Structure 1
Amino acid sequence: MKVEAWLFGITTIFLVLVTPAYWFITDASDTGADWTGTSALVMTTLLTAMVTLYLGFHAQRMDPRPEDRTDGEIADGAGELGFFPPYSWWPFWCACTLGIIVLALAVTQWWMVVLGFALGVLALSGWIFEYYRGEHAH
């Protein structure tokens, strides 16, 4: 994880340098500073700094992965990598219910918002509990 921490650290340094420059360049125009872009860059800088700190702390506390070691071999990374879920229709239904809610808010039909939330509870419950029953039950 040290490589990932370094990549995010370099990105953070870049954003720390670019954000004041962007603010200064947009402030020099006749219309004043572009607060939207400046605040977006500040938030992006803070988020990359947060990820850098998280990855840096975890890189110090965990054993080095084979790709982090200089003497690591390809065979060192062999074995089970974890559980990867098979196909699932539940994310599609969750996205559809979110689409219903957003559409209902756009056309201000509150009954559709309630319907969307009800369908959303069903879809989210199906997604959460899909490995407790059916074909992929554990």
Structure 2
Amino acid sequence: MKIEIRLFIWLAPFFVVVGVLYGFFSGWSEPVGFLGIPLVGGLMAMIGAYLALQARHIDPRPEDDEQGEIDQGAGDQGVYAPWSWWPLVLGAGAAVAFLGLAVGWWVFYISLILGLVGLVGWVFEFSRGQHAH
């Protein structure tokens, strides 16, 4: 996680400085730029701080070892369900939500129900059948 921490922590001051320069060159007349760009820097600093705190609690990854070999990263990287249809349901819920912003709020409320069904289905996907606990 060393590379990720450095990336986020070192780029945070860059965005703050660029936001101030943007405000200076725009005459402070356009509020989204001189406010939004430093906020991006603040968000990057928060992500970098979170990664730095988490790096203390987990073992170093093979990517963090400069003398590491490729085969040290072999093996399972997580549990994934390649046959799952629930991400498609969540994506459809997000698409209907954006449609609701254009058409009307009543469509947005329908998308919340669709998204909730997709989220519950994806979370509890392994809690039935041969993977039941």
TM-score of the superposed pair, with normalisation by structure 1:
0.76
1:113 Cα deviation from its structure 2 partner: 4.4
Aligned sequence identity (%): 37
Distance change >3 Å, CA 23–CA 122, structure 1 → 2: same
Structure 1 residue 12: deviation in Å? Answer: 1.1
Q: In structure 1, give the amino acid aligned to 2:34.
A: T
- Residue in structure 1 matched with residue 15 of structure 2 by the alignment: 15
Which runs of 4 or more aligned residues in structure 1 lie more than 6 Å from their structure 2 counterparts after TM superposition?
Answer: none
CA distance in 2, matches of 1:52, 1:43: 14
Higher relative contact order (CA 8 A, sep 6+): 1
Counterpart residue type for residue 4 of structure 2: E
1:2 aligns to 2:8 (yes or no): no
Equivalent residue for 2:131? Answer: 137
Q: What is the root-mean-square deviation of aligned Cα atoms in Å? A: 2.4
Aligned to 1:124: 119
Task: Please give the TM-score of this superposition, normalised by the length of structure 2.
Answer: 0.79
Contact in 1 for aligned 2:19/2:36 (Cα 8 Å)? no
Q: CA deviation at 1:6?
A: 0.8
Q: Name stretches of at least 5 consecutive residues in structure 2 with no aligned partner.
A: none
1:90 aligns with 2:86: yes
Larger Rg belongs to: 1
